[in-house]
Structures are given as structure tokens and as C-alpha cells.
Amino acid sequence: MSDAAWRALLAVGVMAVLAAACSKREAASSRVADAGWLTGGHDAAQTYHSPLKQIDAANAGRLGFAWDYDLETTHGQEATPVVVNGVMYASAPWGFVHAVDARTGQRRWVFDPKVDSAITSKVCCGIVSRGLAVSDGRVYTASIDGRLSALDANDGKLLWQVDTIVDHERGYTVTGSPYVAGDVVVIGNSGGELDARGYFSAYRIATGELAWRFFTVPASSQGPFEHPELERAAKTWDPNSRWEVGLGGTVWDGMAYDPTLDLLYVGVGNSALYPRKLRSPGGGDNLFVSSILAIDPKTGRLVWHYQTTPGDQWDYTATQKMILADLRIGDRTRQVLMQAPKNGFFYVLDRSTGELLSARPYVPVTWASGVDEKTGRPVETEQGDYGNEPRLVFPSPAGGHNWQPMAFNPDTGLVYIPALEASAVFWIPDAPYVYAKAGINTGALYGFPAAHAGDWGLESPAAKHLPPLAELAKGQPDTTIRGFLRAWDPVANKVVWEVDTSGQWTGQMNALWNGGGVMTTSGNLVFQGQSTGALHIYRATDGHPLAAIDIGTSIMAAPMTYELDGVQYVAVMAGFGGALGGVHPVGTAAARYGNAGRIVTFKLDGGAVPRPAELNRVSSVPRPAVERFGSAADIEAGNALLKRNCARCHANEGPGAIPDLRWMSAETHRQFEDIVLKGVRAAKGMGSFAGSITPAEAQQIRAAVVDSAWRAYETTQNTPQSAPHVPESAPHTPVTADNGVSR
């Protein structure tokens, strides 16, 4: 054989060896990806699906306790952990990060962002975190005050940190997860009910250098236009829009990334103010509120957009989690993006072009009769227009689907949605709107037709002038509030199966929040936790219940799963809160066992799950610490101020982690102004409201709280202890309540 032939043969052999090595590395990498949980939604497509199937429909009943971990907080848990190389990384309220041995639950390190708790005065819907990102040995996390941090995954050391907030005088916070797209990490913000102007920012993953920033709404009709898309967007707003309010469009939750198309998908939130007639009197689509954006992550430029709710005026965010998948539609396979946003329609879009492929209601919808699939626009109804009179509208501001993640199983072809069936009555108050700097700026009120809804119901002082519910609901769908786990076929556009998750709260507010986020696996399983403290497991094909494990801690977040050393684990972050404020409705695990947040992990043939000790609740209603004071007008004004500034945390309707203001001690009453206006309890999470509330208004709030306390006390007595102070305007004081939106 010639030298040339030998060299050729040798080259072939070397190439074969290299190819085999590459194949082994790729196979190993694939096994790691399959065995781990690499993003909040498992993968860049955010499917919340794992291909693992050691735990399956035949053995799910054998699932038991493996380990748990104390998160050392009583705030709500909305995140799903990430597992990379045997380490679990979990984001917790305020922006804490816990790194835990995923085999044993032993702590490796904790990152404390050291947040100034005065930020709580700007928090809409709970001190929460919805996740973190891990990439190339770094953990990316956002704290509620808007700082984005890169940590060393091995030891938690801070590598870089940037302040992502452009104006700290406004009502900005951050509750969402960072997302990695190529060589940037992207983060949005919250504050759509306050006075935030929405935007999201991309930073170089290695250095933290700002790569680009995309504003979702213009600053004015005349600019400045920070990027070209805003000049186009400005034409969809009335030049006389309330620019000073910020206009909303915050990016507070869902994103997804397609590395093949190199496109980042971003969900945009609701408008502010809510009513069009106040926000943009001349109308318009008001781009880019309530939209899905496809962004080139290298440049930050818009590739396409689709607006789910043009001119939104119902808090119909498009920030809900998006899922990327390949679906066989007709005679071809389409690369799609799927979303079930608040507005009640399930959307399937071509994710390369933004073309609408389908949009069908997955819950009752009355604000629109449908979506014109030729134009992509909703066909609005008269029922949705509350500009001149109160209207009962489906869905409610809680949406047909809120922040709780849905999941897609490619084996069944089904999307599993934690769906909400509820309406709300929207109306514009008689009093002229006045802008509140860094305060609540919705410009509209709404009430839920629910039992025990407190300030969020139609029995509240703010709703006392409304027509009767029977009149408002005439000819409308059933207003009974319910929650469902709904299996949706995105090709046939229909419900395949569903499970009612309302529990004992059918018709009450907690029917909306009893069912948590969803995870599915190739073991033909669907997992969903509930506020009762039970982790439910269903057969993915037909919804047949397989197991329910009581952990003694309320669950809102989506579970996840991973495999190590041949053992498949399932884990979930547990703890009640978020938009629910501090209320723990009777029947929830939080009401029975308290609300100490923890991670609970399971494996086949594990033991019984240890539950916290039961609380010793005092069932009697105490006598209020101070006597009534203030005029009827003061109390009525105080109730309005309570709903606007306080009810998102202090629902004052029952047991919970956040104090019920009705039962303040005499000493707390004496300190009330210092607490509310000087922030003397900021370290406990009660920041100063000096920029939003005057001293006189603080006393009106206190008068309303005292009046409410006396009414609750008198209800428990055979005869009133004193004559009712304000017969016509006193607040209804039922036993339990939650509120309806999440940010």
C-alpha cells in the first residue's frame, strides 16, 4: 500500500474515533439534559415537561418522601427550582437563592440580596420570585428591588450586579425570572397597576454590560423614541394620553427562547390606566400592551408582534407562560408558540412569523365574541364596554389563566392549563381620576360576584351603588367562581378532559387559587399542587386521579422532576401568598399548619411526608383595642383608601401571615402614623407610604379599620356592644377573602 493510501486510511480512522467521541459526548449531554431540569420550565421552550418515566402511571401511588428543605420565609412560593449537575437552585422571595444538594437536601450556599424592605410600598401582589436562570456555571437572579445578579454556581459568590430600574421614583419592582437567550440574560419588571412604563433589558451574560433595552410603550406621542419601534407604537395612542401615568405594558413573567431561530419571545402586560376613555381618549390599539413580541436577542430589534388584546381595558395581560412546540396542523408540521393569556382565548402562533393559526376560548368569554382568524383581531362585544356604565365581564382581572405555569406533553399532544372561570363587574368611579405617584393607578374598580370576597367583592363599600347582581348578570354565563385543571388539544381546539380544582371553595375567591402550576412527564403523568397542601397526580391521557400526597404546606408553584444515580425525584416549592396577600382561607394547609415555605422532594417508595405542627388558632373574635372614632365620611374615605393602598396585602378577612389590621393592639394604634408614614417597621416588610398617603388619610384608614373590627366583634355578640356607627357605609366583614390579580 502506498504512503498516500496509508495516510488516507489513518485519516479515516482518526475521523471515526473523533465522530464516536463526539457522539458519546452528545449522548451524555442529552442524558444530562433529559435527567436534569435546566430552566424554570425544564427547557428553553418552557414546556414544563420532562421525558423521565421511571415514575409512571403504574407506580405513582408509591411516591413518598425523600427530603425537605426550609426556605426560612412565610411569603408565597411561585418559583420552580432548576437542577444542574446534581445541585438544585431555588429562588425565593425578596430575591434569595438557595443552592441545595439535589440528592439529600443539604444546603450548599445561600445568597441574600439584602433588599431595603421599604420597597414593599411599591409591591402590587406579594413579595415573590418566579424563578432564576442557570447557564455556563452562573446563576442569574433578580431581587424585588430590581437588581440583577450573576452568582458563581459553585459557591454563590457575586460575580456582577446591575440595577435594572430606570426610575426609582415610580412603582417598579421585579418578580419575574431572568431568561438566557444566546449571550444575553433578559429581565423585565412589574408595576402595571402602579405607574410603571414597561420595558425589558438584556445584559451580557459574562460581564453584566447592558446590551439593549426595549420599551413596550412610548413616553409620549412626540418621543423621545428610544428605539425605532416606539415611533410606530406612538401612532396607536391618542396624543393626549395620560403619559405621566407610565401606561403599563410591564414584562413581569413569561418568556421563551428558540435557539434555532434565535428568537426571544416576550409577553407584555396590561395597560394603565385600565379604562380606554381615561388612558387614551381617542382610542387606538395602544401598542405594545397585552402583546407577544418576537425579539432578535443580538440586537434587541422587533421581528414580529401579535397583540392579544388591542386597547386592553380589563387587565388582560399576555405575560402568562408561553410554550414552544412543533405541531402537526393540517398537512404540515408547524413551529408554534402557544399561550393561554388572561383574556380567555388559547392562541397558537407560527413562531417564526407571528401568523395566527388558531385562537379559541378555553374559558367563558364575553368581552369578545371570538377572534377573526383572518385579521387576528378580537371581535369585541358591547358587554365588555364599561366606559359609561358598570358591566359584568368574563374573564375577571384574574384571567382565564394567571401566572401558574401550564405544561405541554408531546406524547399526548395536550396542554394542561390551570384554568379559572370567573367574572367581575367593572366600573369607573364617579370621582375624577387623580394621578398617584408610585401608587395604584388603575382608574377603574372591579368586584367579584363571590361569597366572602370582602373588599374584592360586590358587598364592599366601593360597590354599594351598583345595580343588583341579578340585573348585571342577566343573560350572562353562570357567575359561580370555579377553578379547573383543563387538558386542551391545541390542534383540535377543544377540552379533552378536566378536573374541577375548586375544592370546598366553589363560588368563593380561593376557587381561583386552589390549583397551582402544572408539570407533566413521559411517564403519562400530570402533577399539580393545591392550597390544601395536597400534591395531586393524574394520568396524562385521560385525567384519571392516581395519587394525592398531603404535605401540610399549601402549594402554588409548578412541580419539577430530575434523575440522579438512577433515581427519579419530584420536587415542589411550597408556600401560600402572592396576590392572596396574607390571608389563609380556612381549609388551606396554610390556615391549619402555618405558612413556613419549604421545598419538598419525593421518590418511589419514600416515607410519609412530615407535616408541620398544627396551629392553635383562637376562634373567638376579640374586643377591639380602641373605641370607634371619625365621621361617616371619614370611614367611607378610609375604606376606599384601604382598598387602594392596603388590601393587596392586608385583606383583613381571616387568619394569615400578614397581620389582620382589625386586631391591632392599643400600642400599634398609637404607632400607626409612624408605621405607615415613617416606615418604622420596614425591616418587617411594612415600608413607608409617605408618598402615597397623608397623615389625615392615615387616620381615615385607621378609623375604617376600627369600625370594621367593631362590626366583626358585634356580629359574635347576642346584642351589639354599642350602636352601629355608620349603618349605610360600614364594610362587610366575612371570614375569608383573597384578591384577584397577580403581578
670 contacts: CB under 8 Å, gap ≥ 6: none
Q: In angstroms, how far is CA 340 from the centroid of its own chain?
A: 13
Beta pairing, strands 158-163 & 179-181: unpaired
CA quadruple 211, 215, 219, 223: dihedral sign? positive
Question: How far is CA 378 from its chain centroid?
Answer: 24
Residues with catalytic function: 315
Burial class (CB in 10 A: 0-12, 13-18, 19+), 152: middle
Q: Among 589, 587, 557, 562, which Cα is nearest to 573's?
A: 557
| CA angle at 717 for the pair 712 and 722, rounded to the nearest 5° | 75
Sign of CA dihedral 268, 270, 276, 280: negative
Torsion of CA 724, 726, 730, 733, to 10 degrees: -10
**Which residue in the block uniquely carries the three cell numbers 398531603?**
550
Q: What are residue 561's DSSP bridge partners?
A: 570
Q: Which residues contact 692 (CB under 8 A, 6 or more apart)?
A: 121, 436, 437, 438, 439, 645
Query: Which H helix or E strand runs over 442?
Result: none
Which of 22, 51, 4, 66 minimizes the C-alpha distance to 570?
66
Is 572 within 8 Å of 553 (Cβ atoms)?
A: no
Cα 378-175-347 angle, rounded to 5 deg: 25
Residue of 673, 624, 630 whose CA lies nearest to 652: 624
Please, what sign has the CA dihedral across residues 305, 307, 311, 317?
negative
